[in-house]
Amino acid sequence: MTDRPMGSAYLRWAKTRTPSRYDLTSSGVPYVGLRELPVTTDDLEISGTGAYGYAPLQAAIASRYRADEACVAAAMGTSMANLLALAAVVRPGDEVLIEHPTYEPLIAAARWLGAEVRSFSRRAEDGFRLDPAEVERGMTDRTRAVVLTNLHNPSSVLADDDALRQIGEIAARSGARVIVDEVYLDALWEDAPRTAFHLGETFISTNSLTKVYGLNGLRCGWILAAPEIAERAWRLTELFNNIGVHAAERLSLAAFENLDALARRSRTLLDANAAALNDFYATHGDVLDVRPHAHGTVSFPRVVRGNADALCDVLTERYETAVVPGSFFGAPDHVRIGLGVDPAKFRAGLERLGQALREVG
C-alpha cells in the first residue's frame, strides 16, 4: 500500500505563505460581501432541520443541474466533495488514475485513502487537451477511478463531451468511475456545457459556489452521482462533518437565487483581466510559451528562459508579487497565474511579472 500523506503540500503553502501586495495566486474571483446578497438577519437561522442537506438548497442544486434530488449529496466545498467522491468508490489498494498536470490535493486525497496513484498526461505541447488514448494506456484491472478537472486546473482548458464519453466507456470496461471536478466550468457562462454527470452513471461530478461566484466562505459544495454513490457520500458525511452549517446553507440558497447577477460580476472582472493577460502574452512570447487565454480563472504558461521556481522567488522578494509555482502541479517549468484580481492590481502584477522575467531570463 502506498504512503498515506496527511494534508496537502499545496494547500499548506497557500495558507501559510506571506501575502503579496500583487497576489496572482488565487484560482477564484474576489469574495462577495454579505451586502451583495439580498438577505437580512431575518432570513437566517443558526440551526435547522437538514440532517442530510437543507431541502430547499438540495432542490435548488438539483434544479440548476437538471438532476434528481436523489443524485445530489452536499459537501463542504469542492475539495470535500472530491474526497467524498473518491472515498465512495475507492478502497485501500485500488488504483486511481489522475491527470497530469493536476491539482495536488486530488493526489493527496487518493493517497490518504490508501489508493495507488497513477497518472495520464495532458501534454502542454497539445494545449493540455484531454486525450482518451492516454487514459486507456493508464488503465489496469485495478483502476477504480479516473480523476480529472474541467475546466482543467491549472490550464483552464475545456474537455469536450466526445473525449469525456470515450473516457467513460474506457472506465466502464474496467468497472471504474470517472470523477470530474467542475468547479471552474461555469466560467464559460452561457456557453458552459452540461455537467458530465449527464453523460451516464459512470460519471461523478463535483462542484461548488467557491471559485466562479466568489462565495468561498459559504463552503457550499456538492456531488452529482448515481443515487447509490450519492447515498455512500451521505454516509461518509456522518464521519466528516455530520451536518451542514445552517446559516451558510440559507445564504447559499439566496446565492442560487441570484447566480446570474453574481456571474455578471465575475464575468466583467475575468473578461477585463483576460484581455490584459493576452496583451501581456503577445509581448512576452520570447520568455513564456502559452496559447492565448480563452476562458477560466487561471492560466499556465511555461517559462522558456530561466528557472520557474527562481522566478517565483524573485517575484516575491523583489516585486511584492506572487504566482503559483508549477511544481505544485507536477510541472516545474510552469507557473499558474490567477485572473481573479481587481483589474488595476492585475495589470500592475503583470508589469512586475514582466520585470522579473527579464531579470531571471
**pLDDT band at residue 189 under the 50/70/90 scheme:** very high
Q: Helix or strand or coil: residue 336?
A: strand
Q: In whole angstroms, give the CA distance from residue 327 to residue 336.
A: 10
Strands 95-100 and 288-289: unpaired
pLDDT at 3: 65
Instruction: Tell me the per-residue pLDDT of 75-93, one tens digit each, with 9 for 90 and over.
Output: 999 999 999 999 999 999 9
Angle at 134 between CA 132 and CA 139, to 5 degrees: 95
What does the chain come to in residues?
A: 361
Look at residue 303 and tell me whether its pLDDT is greater than 80. yes
Strands 177-181 and 143-149: parallel
Q: Helix or strand or coil: residue 82?
A: helix
Look at residue 1 and tell me whether its pLDDT is greater than 80. no
What DSSP assignment string belongs to 288-321?
EE-PPP-SSSEE--EE-SS-HHHHHHHHHHHHSE
pTM of the model: 0.96
CA dihedral 14, 15, 17, 19 (to 10 degrees): 90
CA neighbor of 270 nearest in space, from 207, 216, 338, 336? 338
Percent residues over pLDDT 70 in the chain: 99
Instruction: Tell me the per-residue pLDDT of 203-246, one tens digit each, with 9 for 90 and over.
Output: 999 999 999 999 999 999 999 999 999 999 999 999 999 999 99
Average pLDDT, the chain: 95
Burial of 242 (0-12, 13-18, 19+ CB in 10 A): exposed
- Cβ atoms of 87 and 257 closer than 8 Å: no
Q: Helix or strand or coil: residue 124?
A: helix
Helix spans in the chain (H): 9-16, 55-64, 77-89, 104-112, 132-138, 161-173, 227-240, 246-256, 259-282, 308-319, 343-360
pLDDT at 219: 96
Mean pLDDT along residues 247-253: 95
Phi, psi of 23 (to 5 degrees): -100, 105
- Domains of the chain with CATH codes: 9-30+260-360 (3.90.1150.10), 40-257 (3.40.640.10)
- For cell 510541472, name the residue: 331
pLDDT at 51: 86
- The sign of the torsion formed by the CA atoms of 237, 238, 241, 247 equals positive
Mean pLDDT along residues 12-29: 96
